[in-house]
Amino acid sequence: MFPTGGKKKDVTTPRICAVVWHNGEFIKWGDARVHVMSHVLHYGSSVFEGIRCYATKRGPAIFRLREHMQRFLNSAKIFRMDHEWTMDDFCEASVELVRRSGLEQCYIRPILFRSLDEERPAFGVNPFPNPLACYIGAWDWGKYLGDEAIEKGVDVCVSSWNRLTPNSLPAMAKSGANYMNSQLIKMEALLNGFAGGIALDDRGYVSEGSGENIFLVSNDVVNTPPLSSSVLPGITRDSVIQICQELGIAIKERSIQRAALYVADELFFSGTAAEITPIRSVDHISIGSGGRGEITARIQKVFFEITSGERQPPGSWLTYVREQRAHAPEQRSASAGDNGRQSESKGVPEARVSPAAAPELVARTHAVAAE
């Protein structure tokens, strides 16, 4: 009766890094566990990031690592998650994680959340009694909206679900709780046969996708909703803006009406997971020629030239893993963890996990959302 394709699978995950960074040290993937009564599981008290590492001729290169980690720190600050880690701690941990993974390309997921003090558990909404736990994992993730989407584009709908109002939950923070809204948008789209959804803000103006920022091209001008439209300040979004400026393409931040989507010359999504993905139709209305537009193709070409290391970016956008100094992980006390146990960080092999060797690890990552 209803389409079920969206229920069955997410992006294929062929390989997973066998180690995870946890509160300052590296532990085995299988030892990264959370107590079922942790605050985060009941109240969504987490902030996270999504960062891509690309394969280049100079080896793995992490895309805009410091900018992502600054947003990670900002998200934690907004939710009053006071912690001891610094920008350099998170950046060095990410570089070392990729180095240990042996992967040439991967997706990096830092997450900071309210856990559980098992000796003095607290179960209420008040988050302050609960300790913080931080993890960084990595896996090889394909094209989020499908391999063909980059060239042919995707079909999307305008969601019946609005984006959160800025004074209800902060849209500029990348928090787990916000992504319940994203899940509603995504599920509705998938069950109705679309690849994704576009949400409006509380005033009825275009906001963003379930995990992507959006750009509209009209009369050779690239437009994107302002942050005031409950938009996450996307790192890829900022990259597109800078690429447009470098190419001499007019770029404007402005409020966009829903109807403007239907009559646009071109539309495309941007995001760490989506990268630059053309939109070929909205609500079954063909956009432009019904495929990837000329300006979208130009921006996309430059973006992938930069991420592959073939083109000089506007700034220091690539962190080449093999060219960074190796940092030995600092050993922190067990009290910094989420379960009061000392993590096993010694003797962890630099290995990768395949679906054949551990299919359950792959299955667990399929539920991960990304932007």
Comparing 157 with 338, which gets the higher pLDDT?
Answer: 157
What tens digit of pLDDT does each residue of 131-177 get?
Answer: 999 999 999 987 656 668 899 999 999 999 999 998 999 999 999 99
- Is 174 in the active site? yes
3-state secondary structure (DSSP) of residue 56: strand
The reported pLDDT for the residue numbered 44 is 97
| Burial profile 46-80: b = 16 or more Cβ within 10 angstroms, e = fewer | bbbbbbbbbebeeebbbbbbebbbebbbbbbeebe
Instruction: Taking residues 281-299, report their average pLDDT.
Output: 97
The reported pLDDT for the residue numbered 141 is 82
What tens digit of pLDDT does each residue of 199-229 get?
Answer: 999 999 999 999 999 999 999 999 999 999 9
The reported pLDDT for the residue numbered 348 is 35
The reported pLDDT for the residue numbered 13 is 62
The reported pLDDT for the residue numbered 149 is 87
Instruction: Taking residues 311-330, report their average pLDDT.
Output: 86
Closest to 364 (Cα-Cα) out of 99, 32, 113, 104: 32
| Percent of the chain predicted with pLDDT > 70 | 83
What tens digit of pLDDT does each residue of 233-242 get?
Answer: 999 999 999 9
The reported pLDDT for the residue numbered 229 is 97
The reported pLDDT for the residue numbered 238 is 98
What is the pLDDT confidence band of residue 6, given thresholds at 50, 70 and 90? low
CA separation for the pair 123, 129 (Å, rounded): 9
Residue 357 has pLDDT above 50, yes or no: no
Write down the mean pLDDT value for the chain: 87
Residue 366 has pLDDT above 70, yes or no: no
| Percent of the chain predicted with pLDDT > 90 | 80
The reported pLDDT for the residue numbered 146 is 61
What pTM, to 2 d.p., does this model score?
Answer: 0.86
What is the pLDDT confidence band of residue 56, given thresholds at 50, 70 and 90? very high
Residue 343 has pLDDT above 70, yes or no: no
Residue 5 has pLDDT above 90, yes or no: no
Q: Which of 143, 174, 252, 301 is catalytic?
A: 174
What tens digit of pLDDT does each residue of 69-126 get?
Answer: 999 999 999 999 999 999 999 999 999 999 999 999 999 999 999 999 999 999 999 9
Instruction: Taking residues 261-289, report their average pLDDT.
Output: 97
DSSP state of 129: T
Q: Where are the alpha helices (DSSP H) in 26-119?
A: 39-43, 65-78, 87-101
For residue 116, how many other CB atoms are within 10 A of its CB?
Answer: 25
Tokens of 145: 């909206």
Instruction: Taking residues 183-208, report their average pLDDT.
Output: 97
